[in-house]
């Protein structure tokens, strides 16, 4: 029987491989398929051996066989995924042997826009009312009739993962523990308070002592609770973390945590919340898992008819290692504890028209390689960021030419709230363009490296929960030069927090001596401290429109003041990073001539900054700190009085053709090109989540 089956498969693959011209060969995969079939669409009067494969691995292996036999057609191979849910118990892995070529690319694509889901979780069956008296006693009285319990072990789900310390300064790809998703949305762990924050009232053992007090009487309910965690902004409004609770002393109002006791220790007055408490299962959607018994308790937000799933897979849903000329198209990646798609090395991998949602950590990680592209994808409800993309060679300034294009990012840091951006950029030569990014407590684009291009993006309602933060952020390096930020629309950045006043937020934040960045032709509307140069050199802010910003531009000389320790030897960070690159040799000396003799040119003085041909309407124009003046900073041809022909309308902001700015050489900003665009993958321009046609 085995010999017969191998013969049938060999004949089927051979017949598929006999193609002329550039049309791709077609293979098919379906949740109703069978890996012993041919991989073709079933048809009437065909032998039972015809039909789609059942798994991605079988299709991959069929292509490998073609390549070994030299039968990969010129048009390549398209693996059509029929609609349905593909539950992955392990990572679907492609390696160098699974690569296509320029003439013969390999494509894994949803078939004719059918809904294809790659899922790293398990469906949870029907629950029942809670009847255990000991559990009912812990539940709030108003919830006891509404909560449901689910025996996960009885349903074959025994790997619950771990709740781990995570947050500022820790890896963004630390797998999440088991999470619960209902009707396609992540459900919150039972926590207190449900909205807002508690406040630290005292630190009895000092800032680093690992204990703090809170005057909320609710602590009495938690004295016997197990596996309790706290999440907070423990000292700074730009650094959060999750910490495990060792014990709660309700008499003292004291919470004691496991080492290392928070990011920067605990500080009086700072905000936090407590989570993973059965005793606080009091709001629709909240849940709690008893890891000892495997019982999950859930307060459904409605009648309970939606799909209920828990995440299981901790490794990436899909991994491409050293792969080239492969495209993944039209697929939904969701419900996992780790990364959605990981690309290591290789060249010209394209991820197009896909949706990444309900991911435990990061949607897509691209590390190394060349000319990879993520285009027209949607990212939402991610644990620790949208895309991490880096490549190229900083020593030789060789660009990777990766691109992130026409993607939507929203609610992209459910877990860690700081430094988990929509797009994290590193290396050399990445382009991030035509994206929409919104609804985030912290930054949207976090950047390092050289010669990147950030253009035509719309970014709004970010930095909503943090302070000393930027929608675009980079900092603390004299060498990360050459990036251009142009033709972007930053608006409605930051917000007030619990009546405490406007938090200190920026739109473009060139922090801690960032140098050599060009900010050109952007529109800033209600964007906080819009363009900030924090002590750096050779930055250009030119041809921008600022409306109702506070201020439009900020420049300081911190290296000559409070941050002089970076230049006088007390802190070697900047000097170490300077020495780490060949800044006095080609191509560095040719690309960045200002760097060659920087140490002999008063490096702490913010020389070479230019603020030119900008329009500032409303708000405040410019702040110059640390005794800076226009002899150190070039400031010219800016219009800062009157409206300069700027019109704010319900349909947007425009600059009239008779604006006096044009006489000063102001170049028109292509407003109509900013943001998402329609293409073969994205049918709706603007925010597709507002349209029924969203996939």
pLDDT of 61 above 50:
yes
| Confidence tier at 502 by pLDDT (50, 70, 90) | very low
| Confidence tier at 687 by pLDDT (50, 70, 90) | confident
pLDDT tens, 566-600? 999 999 999 999 999 999 999 999 999 999 999 99
Residue pair 168/418 in contact (Cβ under 8 Å)? The answer is yes
Domain count, the chain: 5
pLDDT of 99 above 50:
yes
Alpha-carbon radius of gyration of the chain: 28
| Confidence tier at 496 by pLDDT (50, 70, 90) | low
| Confidence tier at 689 by pLDDT (50, 70, 90) | confident
Residue pair 255/204 in contact (Cβ under 8 Å)? The answer is no
Asked if omega into 261 is within 30° of 0 (cis), the reply is no
Tracing tokens 């809904």 back to the chain, one arrives at: 115
pTM of the entire predicted model: 0.94
Mean pLDDT of 366-387: 98
Distance, CA of 429 to CA of 454 (rounded, Å): 10
- Domain shared by 361 and 421, yes or no: yes
Query: What pLDDT does residue 24 have?
Result: 84
- Domain shared by 505 and 654, yes or no: yes
- Domain shared by 352 and 398, yes or no: yes
Q: Estimate to the nearest angstrom the gap between the alpha carbon of 239 and the chain centroid.
A: 17
Distance, CA of 478 to CA of 555 (rounded, Å): 16
Tell me how many helices (H) and strands (E) the chain has: 6, 55
In sequence order, the β-bridge partners of residue 463 are none
Given 95, 119, 143, the domain boundary residue is 119
Three-class secondary structure of residue 8 per DSSP: helix
Lookup: tokens for 166: 């995570």
Query: What pLDDT does residue 500 have?
Result: 52
- Domain shared by 346 and 409, yes or no: yes
Distance, CA of 623 to CA of 629 (rounded, Å): 10
Q: Estimate to the nearest angstrom the gap between the alpha carbon of 208 and the chain centroid.
A: 31
Distance, CA of 221 to CA of 228 (rounded, Å): 12
- Domain shared by 600 and 681, yes or no: no
Distance, CA of 448 to CA of 370 (rounded, Å): 17
- Domain shared by 552 and 622, yes or no: yes
Query: If residue 688 lies in a helix (H) or strand (E), which one and from where to where?
Result: none
Mean pLDDT of 186-208: 96
Lookup: tokens for 625: 């700190």
pLDDT tens, 654-674? 999 999 999 999 999 999 999
Tracing tokens 């109509």 back to the chain, one arrives at: 672
Distance, CA of 490 to CA of 504 (rounded, Å): 16
- Domain shared by 602 and 536, yes or no: yes
- Domain shared by 6 and 131, yes or no: no
Distance, CA of 550 to CA of 211 (rounded, Å): 38
Query: If residue 65 lies in a helix (H) or strand (E), which one and from where to where?
Result: helix 56-68
pLDDT tens, 261-299? 988 999 999 999 999 999 999 999 999 999 999 999 999
Distance, CA of 159 to CA of 578 (rounded, Å): 46
pLDDT tens, 301-324? 998 789 999 999 999 999 999 999
Given 119, 150, 180, the domain boundary residue is 119
pLDDT tens, 438-472? 999 999 999 999 999 999 999 999 999 999 999 99
Mean pLDDT of 157-171: 95
The mean pLDDT value of the chain amounts to 93
Lookup: tokens for 493: 């950045």
| Confidence tier at 650 by pLDDT (50, 70, 90) | confident
pLDDT of 106 above 60:
yes
Q: Domain of residue 361: give its range.
A: 313-457+677-695
351, 403, 608 from 108: Cα distances, Å? 10, 20, 49
Neighbours of 145 (CB within 10 A): 10
Query: What pLDDT does residue 683 have?
Result: 84
- Domain shared by 355 and 503, yes or no: no
Query: What pLDDT does residue 2 have?
Result: 38
pLDDT of 556 above 80:
yes
| Confidence tier at 113 by pLDDT (50, 70, 90) | confident
Mean pLDDT of 472-501: 87
Distance, CA of 330 to CA of 114 (rounded, Å): 8
- In the chain, the percentage of residues whose pLDDT exceeds 70 is 94
Give buried/exposed letters for 154-169 (b at 16+ CB in 10 A, else e): eeebeebbebebbbbe
- Domain shared by 161 and 263, yes or no: no
Mean pLDDT of 397-401: 98
Give buried/exposed letters for 510-522 (b at 16+ CB in 10 A, else e): bbbbbbbbbbbbb
Residue pair 464/681 in contact (Cβ under 8 Å)? The answer is no
- Relative to beta strand 324-329, strand 347-352 is parallel
Query: What pLDDT does residue 42 have?
Result: 60
Neighbours of 47 (CB within 10 A): 11
Taking Cα atoms as reference points, which of 203, 206, 199, 217 lies closest to residue 253?
Answer: 217
Given 279, 300, 330, the domain boundary residue is 279
- Domain shared by 539 and 644, yes or no: yes
Distance, CA of 482 to CA of 429 (rounded, Å): 9
Q: Estimate to the nearest angstrom the gap between the alpha carbon of 395 and the chain centroid.
A: 27
In sequence order, the β-bridge partners of residue 324 are 347
- Domain shared by 113 and 166, yes or no: no
């Amino acid at each position: 029987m085995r010999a017969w089956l191998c013969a049938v498969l060999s004949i089927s693959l051979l017949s598929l491989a006999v193609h002329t011209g550039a049309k791709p060969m077609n293979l098919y995969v379906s949740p109703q398929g069978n890996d012993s079939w041919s991989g073709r669409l079933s048809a009437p009067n065909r032998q039972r051996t015809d039909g789609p494969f059942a798994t991605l691995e079988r299709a991959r292996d069929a292509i490998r066989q073609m390549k070994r036999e030299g039968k990969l057609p010129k048009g390549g191979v398209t693996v059509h995924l029929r609609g349905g849910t593909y539950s992955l118990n392990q990572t679907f892995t492609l390696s160098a042997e699974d690569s296509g070529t320029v003439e013969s690319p390999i494509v894994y694509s949803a078939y004719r826009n059918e809904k294809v889901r790659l899922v790293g979780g398990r469906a949870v069956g029907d629950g029942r009312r809670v009847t255990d008296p000991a559990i009912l006693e812990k539940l709030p009285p108003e919830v006891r009739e509404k909560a449901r319990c689910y025996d996960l072990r009885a349903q074959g789900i025994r790997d619950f993962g771990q709740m781990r310390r995570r947050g500022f300064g820790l890896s963004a790809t630390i797998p999440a523990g088991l999470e619960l998703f209902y009707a396609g949305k992540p459900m919150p762990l039972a926590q207190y308070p449900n909205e807002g924050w508690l406040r630290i009232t005292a630190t009895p053992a000092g800032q680093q002592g690992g204990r703090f007090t809170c005057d909320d009487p609710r602590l009495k309910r938690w004295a016997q609770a197990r596996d309790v965690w706290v999440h907070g902004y423990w000292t700074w409004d730009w650094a959060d973390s999750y910490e495990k609770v060792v014990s709660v002393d309700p008499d003292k109002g004291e919470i004691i945590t496991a080492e290392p006791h928070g990011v920067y220790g605990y500080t009086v007055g700072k905000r936090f919340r407590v989570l993973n408490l059965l005793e606080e299962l009091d709001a629709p959607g909240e849940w709690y898992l008893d890891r000892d018994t495997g019982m999950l308790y859930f307060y459904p937000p409605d009648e309970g008819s939606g799909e209920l799933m828990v995440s299981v897979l901790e490794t990436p849903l899909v991994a491409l290692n050293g792969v080239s000329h492969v495209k993944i198209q039209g697929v939904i990646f969701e419900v996992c504890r780790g990364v959605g798609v990981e690309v290591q090395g290789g060249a010209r991998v394209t991820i197009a028209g896909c949706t990444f949602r309900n991911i435990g950590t990061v949607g897509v990680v691209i590390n190394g390689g060349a000319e990879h592209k993520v285009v027209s994808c949607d990212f939402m409800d991610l644990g620790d960021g949208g895309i991490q993309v880096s490549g190229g060679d900083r020593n030789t300034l060789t660009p990777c030419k990766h691109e992130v294009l026409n993607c939507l990012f929203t609610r992209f840091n459910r877990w860690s709230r700081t430094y988990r951006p929509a797009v994290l950029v590193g290396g050399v030569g990445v382009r991030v363009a035509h994206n929409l990014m919104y609804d985030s407590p912290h930054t949207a684009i976090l950047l390092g490296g050289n010669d990147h291009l950030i253009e035509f993006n719309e970014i709004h309602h970010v930095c909503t929960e943090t302070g000393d933060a930027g929608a675009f952020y980079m900092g603390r390096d004299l060498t990360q030069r050459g990036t251009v930020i142009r033709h972007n629309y930053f608006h409605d950045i930051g917000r007030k927090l619990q009546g405490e006043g406007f938090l200190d937020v920026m739109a473009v934040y060139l922090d801690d001596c960032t140098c050599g960045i060009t900010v050109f032709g952007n529109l800033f509307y209600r964007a906080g401290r819009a363009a900030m140069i924090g002590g750096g050199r050779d930055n250009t802010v030119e041809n921008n429109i600022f409306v109702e910003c506070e201020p439009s531009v900020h420049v300081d000389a911190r290296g000559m003041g409070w941050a002089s320790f970076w230049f006088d030897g007390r802190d070697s960070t900047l000097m170490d990073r300077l020495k780490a690159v060949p800044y006095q040799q080609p191509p560095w000396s040719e690309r960045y001539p200002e760097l060659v003799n920087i140490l002999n040119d008063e490096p702490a003085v913010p020389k070479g900054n230019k603020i030119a041909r900008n329009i500032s309407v409303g708000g405040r124009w410019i702040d110059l700190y640390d005794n800076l003046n226009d002899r150190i900073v070039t400031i010219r041809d800016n219009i800062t009085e009157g409206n300069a022909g700027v019109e704010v309308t319900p349909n947007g902001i425009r600059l009239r053709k008779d604006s006096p700015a044009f006489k000063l050489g102001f170049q028109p900003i292509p407003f109509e090109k900013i943001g998402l665009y329609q293409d073969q993958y994205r049918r709706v321009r603007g925010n597709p989540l507002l349209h029924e046609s969203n996939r």
